[in-house]
Chain A
Amino acid sequence: MKRFRSFCGLAGLAIACSLASVDATAQAVAQSVKYTGLVYTDVSLGGERYHNAQVRITFVGSTGDVQDFTTPDGSVSGQQIFKGHAAVSIKSGRREVTAKFFPNQVSVSADLTNGGVGFGAYLGPGQTNYVPAYPLAFDSGTVNFNLGSLTLRGSGDYSGHAWSCITFPVTPYNGGNGHCADPSSSPLKTDKGDFVIRQPYNAFNPDGTLYDDYDGSINIGIFTVVVGATPDP
């Protein structure tokens, strides 16, 4: 059974995206690809709040733009794709809305060393601060169980703990402070206004810090890769 509790999950991606050596040569025939993250959680869009809404974040790109990376110290490797179009759909009761993220904010990445996959973002002034587990990332579950075959270049469905945490990883061992920062001060920009996603369902240690980088979030979600997907209009 593959579980990597002693590692930092998606932590390596934050390092990787700023320091990594990137290998873009491992490309077969490029095909369209659609990544979808499904979770039920609390979000706000354009000032509207939604509780326990069905949230789907999508990213449509080309497998030809998926890059391999390895951190300079060789400790973490994975895949990432920055070129594509990202959107979010929210369904809550009778309310349904879809918004397109403004370009160059949301990406998709996979930490194939520690186990983690999902949608990261550039936040902060000048959008220079890359966060790998916000707006939505997944670890543990079949993400880790299938780590040997997980790829952003091939179709697959994975379930795992759902994270929407700007300050991931959270464990002090991995450089965190035990908590996820309030995301409301770092909204993502969409054509329907500011988008904020929260992580309301958490488990704590006796000292009040999040349980760990895998099971601290006790919400679950599904991440899907579909190669050959028809691009959204």
Chain B
Amino acid sequence: MRRSACLLALALSGGIHAEPVTYTFYAVTDGALGTQGFSESTVRLQFRGDTQDLVKQTATGVLVYRMDRGDASVTVTSGGVTKTARITAGQVYVYYDVLNALVGIGSYAVGPGYPLSLNCPAYRCPTGTAIYTVGALADLTSNPGDSTRYSHAVSRLPATLAKPTLLTGPVSACAVPYLLVNFIYTCPYAPATAMLQTDAGGFYLQDMQGFEGKGMFVVDTDSDGD
């Protein structure tokens, strides 16, 4: 579904101070950049924008942060060799569904979970104590009384794309639904629609580690005073 057609936009950057913001996503995963395929390599997706372009939306009570305007790049480091490419504009956006513990870089061609997201659905993150910060913040948002399950530092992490924060969780890097094969979730294939264009050629991700990859999504702003 293209852009936010499925959402009811109720608020547009209300109360969000305008300042540069950088979203950086680190994962170890598989795919290709240009003519070079890579396996279990460190991938850094970065999206630079401004908080004034951050959109806060709700749909059936679910709060979603989203930023569509910005510059995105991908860096792949494999065996000590690093390759960086700029993702052609108008393909990807940043997305954070707090309650559903889904955050990452989404694409208009596929959706909010691809190319790269931290995704904590029930079958991967059972109810109870969350073992990632993205899941813990979802838990704390819906059940504030669960704060004893986590350290104070977790409770102090902002559940927003507007302020510096650190979200961790299981990595999803698959353009189609994972399949359960021999008790392992696998990404069956990367369809043609999953190919993103960069100044170094096509780019796609296809997780081959059955959801075992973990990642971190970092929000940095200019006012990050440490």
Q: How far is the CA of A53 from the CA of B164 in the complex (A)?
A: 11
Q: Which of A34, A92, A145, A155 contacts B226 (CB 8 A)?
A: A92
B178 at the A/B interface (Cβ < 8 Å)?
no
User: Are the CB atoms of A93 and B216 closer together than 8 Å?
Assistant: no
A22 at the A/B interface (Cβ < 8 Å)?
no
Q: How far is the CA of A127 from the CA of B157 in the complex (A)?
A: 36
Given A202-B151, A211-B129, A218-B132, A159 contacting B210 (CB threshold 8 A)? no
User: Are the CB atoms of B26 and A228 closer together than 8 Å?
Assistant: no
User: Are the CB atoms of A34 and B224 closer together than 8 Å?
Assistant: no
User: Are the CB atoms of B80 and A226 closer together than 8 Å?
Assistant: yes
Given A1-B210, A157-B41, A201-B166, A50 contacting B226 (CB threshold 8 A)? yes
Contact with A along B174-218 (1 / 0, CB 8 A): 000000000110000000000000000000000001101111101
A91 to B, closest residue via Cβ: B220
B161 at the A/B interface (Cβ < 8 Å)?
no
B74 at the A/B interface (Cβ < 8 Å)?
no
Contact with A along B47-71 (1 / 0, CB 8 A): 0000000000000000000000000
Q: How far is the CA of A18 from the CA of B39 in the complex (A)?
A: 36
B223 to A, closest residue via Cβ: A93
Q: Which of A49, A92, A218 contacts B131 (CB 8 A)?
A: A218
User: Are the CB atoms of B212 and A221 closer together than 8 Å?
Assistant: no
List the B side residues contacting A230 at CB < 8 Å.
80
List the A side residues contacting B151 at CB < 8 Å.
200-204
List the B side residues contacting A142 at CB < 8 Å.
28, 40, 209, 212-214
Task: List A183-233 residues whose CB lies under 8 Å from chain B.
Answer: 200-206, 208, 211, 215, 218-222, 224, 226, 228-230
A161 at the A/B interface (Cβ < 8 Å)?
yes
Q: How far is the CA of A51 from the CA of B209 in the complex (A)?
A: 31
Q: How far is the CA of A50 from the CA of B218 in the complex (A)?
A: 15
List the B side residues contacting A158 at CB < 8 Å.
28, 40
Q: How far is the CA of A224 from the CA of B80 in the complex (A)?
A: 9
Minimum Cβ distance to chain A for residue B130 (Å)? 7
Task: List A91-121 residues whose CB lies under 8 Å from chain B.
Answer: 92-93, 95
A21 at the A/B interface (Cβ < 8 Å)?
no
Minimum Cβ distance to chain A for residue B38 (Å)? 10
A122 at the A/B interface (Cβ < 8 Å)?
no
User: Are the CB atoms of A201 and B168 closer together than 8 Å?
Assistant: yes
User: Are the CB atoms of A203 and B131 closer together than 8 Å?
Assistant: yes
Q: How far is the CA of A144 from the CA of B154 in the complex (A)?
A: 25
User: Are the CB atoms of B216 and A204 closer together than 8 Å?
Assistant: no
Contact with A along B20-37 (1 / 0, CB 8 A): 000000111000000000
List the B side residues contacting A160 at CB < 8 Å.
214
User: Are the CB atoms of A40 and B216 closer together than 8 Å?
Assistant: yes
Contact with B along A1-24 (1 / 0, CB 8 A): 100000000000000000000000
Minimum Cβ distance to chain A for residue B219 (Å)? 9
List the A side residues contacting B77 at CB < 8 Å.
157, 224
List the B side residues contacting A228 at CB < 8 Å.
79-80
Given A203-B131, A218-B132, A157 contacting B218 (CB threshold 8 A)? no
B154 to A, closest residue via Cβ: A201
- In addition to A220-B168, A226-B79, 9 A-B residue pairs with Cβ atoms within 8 Å of each other are A93-B220, A95-B226, A158-B40, A159-B214, A201-B150, A201-B151, A203-B129, A204-B151, A226-B80
Interface residues of B, Cβ cutoff 8 Å to A:
26-28, 40-42, 77-80, 129-133, 136, 148-151, 153-154, 157, 164-166, 168-169, 171, 183-184, 209-210, 212-216, 218, 220, 224-226
6 tightest Cβ-Cβ pairs between the two chains A and B = A200-B153, A215-B131, A226-B80, A145-B212, A220-B168, A202-B151
Q: What are 26 A-B interface contacts by the 8 Å CB criterion?
A: A38-B26, A39-B216, A49-B226, A52-B166, A52-B218, A93-B220, A93-B224, A142-B209, A156-B40, A157-B42, A159-B28, A200-B151, A200-B153, A201-B151, A201-B157, A204-B149, A204-B150, A205-B129, A211-B129, A218-B130, A218-B132, A219-B166, A222-B26, A222-B42, A228-B79, A228-B80
